[in-house]
A and B are shown apart, each in its own frame.
Chain A
Amino acid sequence: MGHRFVENLPDLIQPEEYQDHPDGRLVRLRIRVTDEGVEVLGDAMRPEVIERVLRSLGQDPIDQMLCG
């Protein structure tokens, strides 16, 4: 259950949406077919939620951006 720390990942949730989800339950997924296969990008206000979703889809390691 590893992580790969990457420089950058696109945001799928914008700051304007914070107001509408005070309990932080918003999760957004983008699924694309690329030359390498199926790419699943996720964003969530609760990181563990998106991690659970990606693990259930068989992603390992998971690419993660770090804070700071």
Chain B
Amino acid sequence: MRWTPAILHSPAGERVRCDLCPHRCALAPGQVGACKVRRGAAGGMETATFATSVAHTDAVERKPFFHYRPGALALTLAAPGCSFRCDYCVNHPLSQYGREEGPAWEAAPVDVPEVVAAAAARGACVALSYSEPSLAVELTLALAEHGRAAGVEVVWKSNGFLTPEAIDVVTPALAAVNIDLKGLDEARHRRLTGAAAAPVLAAIRAFHQAGVWVEVSTPLVPGVSSSPEDLSAIAAAIADVDRDIPWHLLRFTPAYRMREENPTSPAELAAAVAIGRAAGLRHVYVERALGEEGRNTRCHGCGDTVVERGIWSLGANHLAAGDCPVCGTSIAGRW
């Protein structure tokens, strides 16, 4: 484990306050924050996240991004660690590093020029995913800086739990972000994740306003986000930011500390799609359970199918420079 200088902190008496996420940990030198991968240091802070446990190349659809460069490849990096401790996390062997019975640290330092060159050679973007990418804000900035000249963009799959200062710092570095919105009820969100919900919705709005391409994912977590009332509230909140934001509905998988519940049924996912549409969202997606219809993009002007997808892959993109080839309606996205 290698600790390197971290940004986004301010003095707090004898301690240093981390200004990266809304936990705003006040840390003595050597003390790690709630995320377990950033710590206080003499006169500042350090991070362990200039590192990765993986270097996977896959389609951007897998993050999932459906309206950002369909069919493009993403070179995915992920350091251990998360600012949430979600009870259902399928990725807990990576994300829950440092917590009770958590996994050991297994990650290697990232060679930024090497990663950018590897992505450029395949026309890929670099994605920070699997664990929480905002904890690797320094790595994100470095990748974006090197990537700019090579035409390599950086994208995140994030929990959206960032302070306004952190969002301001990172927006120029990001082309797209998919944010998990796991619920809006503060008490239940906090029980599930250990963190507040309001900053997540604020981050969706802030990234969107700053011009970063935003998609939102909602896992149908029993007791938190799966009831029609909860889904309606979430869909309305997204539509209030922008009806064009794609909303991905994710099947709940019983895992980690939530093993008693059942997985989400296809009928529940179909009902959730209807709820999203009723709230005014134009693009609501289900990756697998509802077949092709769940994955394809339809023009909201004429109903024509404009992007066809397989499971985690592009089938065919019929858009003409982002417009429907039949009626000319513009479909929001980075095509």
Interface residues, chain A, CB within 8 Å of chain B? 2-3, 5-8, 15, 18-19, 22-24, 45-48, 64, 66-68
Contacts and interface: CB of A to CB of B under 8 A. Distances in A.
A6 B56 CA distance: 8
Interface residues of B, number: 33
Contact of A46 (B78, B104, B253, B311): B253
A8 B157 CA distance: 18
Contacts of B63: 68
Given A7-B56, A15-B291, A64 B93 contact: yes
B93 A18 contact: no
B266 A19 contact: yes
B334 interface: no
Interface in B286-305: 288-291
A11 to B, nearest CB: 8
Contacts, number: 71
A66 B91 contact: yes
Interface residue SS majority, chain B: loop
Contacts of A15: 266, 288-291, 311
Given A15-B291, A22-B265, 6 more contacts: A6-B56, A7-B54, A15-B266, A48-B259, A66-B90, A66-B129
B254 A46 contact: yes
A45 B130 contact: no
A24 B258 CA distance: 13
26 contacts: A2-B103, A5-B56, A5-B93, A5-B130, A7-B54, A7-B58, A8-B58, A15-B288, A15-B290, A18-B265, A18-B289, A19-B265, A19-B266, A22-B262, A24-B253, A24-B254, A24-B263, A45-B263, A46-B255, A46-B259, A46-B263, A47-B90, A48-B254, A66-B94, A68-B130, A68-B157
B53 interface: yes
Interface of B: 53-54, 56-58, 62-63, 78, 90-91, 93-94, 103-104, 106, 129-130, 157, 251, 253-256, 259, 262-263, 265-266, 288-291, 311
Nearest to B288: A15
Contacts of A64: 93
Contacts of B57: 7
